């Protein structure tokens, strides 16, 4: 009986010391698999359906470049926004590259890299429905309907700034945009680039009342909690490509030009 107890304790100690070494990390799995699984969500201009199939956008370019620098191929998996963090937590993807806004609440569930860029929330308004509106305060009214997207940072902005208005939260951007375009919502709150692009393509129906963001934010990449080696690699990748201005030039292409619209599926 004494010998059995000693052996059992030795096995427990052996398991304690060996298990961290035996456990594969995300970097090893990615290199062995030969693919980097990247989670994206469709937002202009972060990720959009491409004419040739698949997706194009700022975060698609980031995923392709990161995979290339790792010596593997990028595999993109598109999700509705509400499903993308659960997908990372479940191990369906290795990282999120979806213009994800850094918040303390999200940091309890996932691990953020250092900031990739700064952006902000914007608002489009239905021209006909808001023709008598003269300031933002008038939009904060129970008779006003504001469309947004579920579980996004911009949903929080909408509910915080327009706490008296009726907020309609949609599972995807298409439904939210459809509501303002069809005149069922007075305003639509999303990322500033997304509303700018929507207004540019529908200037006869909607307007951009503010050129500056309602609220600013920091964007980052995200990995599963505990994946320190992958986090270290991505932070080094961001540092290197901020220094060589690859990140800046890529950001300028997607956020300060419309050259890419020729590649987007309508």
Q: Report DSSP letters for 31-45, one per residue.
A: HHHTEEEEEE--BTT
Tens of pLDDT, residue by residue over 129-182, are: 999 999 999 999 999 999 999 989 899 999 999 999 999 999 999 999 999 999
**How big is the chain by its Cα radius of gyration, in Å?**
22
What is residue 15's predicted lDDT score, i.e. its pLDDT? 43
This model's pTM is above 0.75: yes
**Cα separation of 146 and 164, whole Å?**
11
Q: How far is CA 93 from CA 17, 30, 32, in A?
A: 28, 10, 15
Mean pLDDT of 121-125: 95
What is residue 10's predicted lDDT score, i.e. its pLDDT? 45
What is residue 24's predicted lDDT score, i.e. its pLDDT? 62
List domains and CATH numbers for the chain: 25-118+217-263 (3.40.190.10), 120-216 (3.40.190.10)
Neighbours of 260 (CB within 10 A): 17
What is residue 211's predicted lDDT score, i.e. its pLDDT? 83
Q: What are phi and psi of 183, to 5 degrees?
A: 75, 25
Tens of pLDDT, residue by residue over 200-250, are: 889 999 999 988 889 999 999 999 999 999 999 999 999 999 999 999 999
């Amino acid at each position: 009986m004494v010998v059995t107890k000693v052996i059992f304790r030795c096995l427990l100690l052996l398991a304690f010391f060996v298990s961290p070494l035996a456990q594969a990390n995300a970097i090893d799995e990615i290199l062995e698999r030969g693919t980097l699984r990247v989670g994206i969500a469709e937002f202009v201009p972060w990720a959009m359906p491409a004419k040739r199939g698949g997706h194009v956008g700022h975060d698609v370019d980031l995923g392709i470049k990161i995979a290339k620098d790792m010596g593997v191929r990028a595999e993109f998996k598109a999700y509705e926004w509400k499903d993308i963090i659960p997908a990372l937590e479940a191990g369906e993807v290795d990282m999120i590259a979806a213009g994800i806004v850094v918040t303390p609440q999200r940091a309890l569930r996932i691990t953020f890299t250092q900031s990739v860029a700064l952006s902000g929330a914007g608002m489009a308004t239905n021209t006909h429905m808001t023709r008598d509106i003269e300031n933002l305060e008038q939009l904060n009214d129970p008779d006003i309907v504001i469309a947004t997207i579920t579980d996004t940072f911009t949903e929080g902005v909408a509910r915080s700034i327009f706490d008296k208005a009726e907020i309609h939260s949609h599972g995807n951007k298409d439904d939210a945009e459809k509501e303002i375009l069809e005149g069922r919502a007075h305003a639509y709150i999303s990322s500033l680039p997304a509303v700018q692009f929507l207004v540019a393509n529908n200037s006869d129906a909607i307007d951009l009342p503010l050129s500056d963001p309602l609220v600013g934010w920091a964007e980052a990449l995200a990995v599963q909690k505990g994946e320190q080696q992958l986090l270290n690699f991505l932070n080094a990748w961001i540092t290197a490509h901020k220094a060589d201005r690859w990140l800046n030039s890529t950001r300028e292409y997607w956020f300060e030009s419309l050259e890419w619209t020729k590649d987007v599926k309508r």
